[in-house]
Amino acid sequence: MTSFAPPDKDQFMTIGILGGGVWGSALARVLSKNKVIIYARDENIVKSINEHKLNPKLKYSSFNDNVSATSTLKDIRKVKYLFITLPTQNIREVIKEPSLHNKEHHIIICSKGIEITSSKYLTEVFNEIMPFKSISILSGPSFSNEVSQGLPTAVTLATKDKKDFDNISKLIPNKEFRIYYSNDLIGTQIGGSLKNIYAIAAGISEGLNLGENAKSALISRSFAEMTRYAKKFKADKNTLFGLSGLGDLILTCSSTNSRNTQFGIKLASSKYDNFLDLLQSQEVTEGYYTVKAVYNISKKNKIDMPIMESVYNILYKQHDLKEELSNLLSRPITEEKI
């Protein structure tokens, strides 16, 4: 296991991380030149971080003395920078707690997904519930275990004010974690959310042993669907072709390290009458929830998304996997364009 030497105490900037999972802990290591406080509900995780400098969910990585944990929200109320790494569907419940609220917070959303109950992007949820000074989105191809080990990673940080990007970048002196600027908050959120749906489809393709040709075609056509969806919400096409769009899609669909891909593989390899046991057997599978929100949004806005719809039909209408595959292959032949 590796650890970082603590910096000079005069350099400390206190940072809060809302969420004690693997992603929050990986970011804590990236940010650990500063003082970092991780909020986690699980008292065992809090105890492990404080007493042993380890999160039992994050293998092969330890924290330095700058990182601590708490199960009390008010302990991170006064931090200037607050990174959000909670599962998307749990965010509203946590941030509505008044003891967390501080209008001086610079919020950095690192979670990926769309809220099911409201079909809202996370920036909209925060605007509705919680005061803040600025809000940003951190997204891109970034498996937590690789980030925590200091392996090279590049992501997008979307902010409306370039000064906020510059200030947040200074918190991350680690050259292996490279950040690129965007001012497209909606496009960055769309890419990070939708790619999880298509990773489930990629996993199903792999579980059915359809081959590498099929997976390549699936990723390409999934990207076409993502761009159609993003266009409806006036996202910048450059965002979709960048790290938080195409980059994240390729990583998530191509690797069995992806929880969503693993979920798809298991769906195709076994018979499940319901998916609760499978969902509970692994870390949060955001694509399962996001597809429900995207399905409703696409129907309301008349966006053609056949791969997404097939995933929805399998997960929420109990359609047969091979029947859905047959339906996709039977679609009329059209011009290829993005």
Residues that are catalytic = 195
286 in Cβ contact with 88 (< 8 Å):
yes
How many Cα atoms occupy the beta-carbon half-sphere of 264 within 13 Å?
A: 30
Question: In the structure encoding, which two tokens stand for residue 145, read together?
Answer: 């275990």
Query: Torsion angle, CA of 229/292/276/246, rounded to 10 degrees?
Result: 10
Element (H, E) at 22: helix 22-30
231: DSSP letter: H
Between CA 142 and CA 244 the distance in angstroms is 10
The dihedral over CA atoms of 23, 26, 30, 33, expressed in degrees to the nearest 10, equals 110
The answer to whether 261 touches 87, Cβ cutoff 8 Å, is no
Output the DSSP codes for 148-188.
Answer: HTT--EEEEEEESSHHHHHHHHTT---TTEEEEEE--HHHH
Which tokens belong to 214? 């099929």
Q: Give the H/E segment covering residue 138.
A: strand 134-139
**Strand ranges (DSSP E) for 40-96?**
67-70, 81-84
In order of 113, 229, 232, 283, the CA distances from 302 in angstroms are 20, 10, 10, 32
Give which of 92, 76, 87 is closest to 19, Cα–Cα.
87
| Residues 37 and 15 sit within 8 Å (Cβ to Cβ) | yes
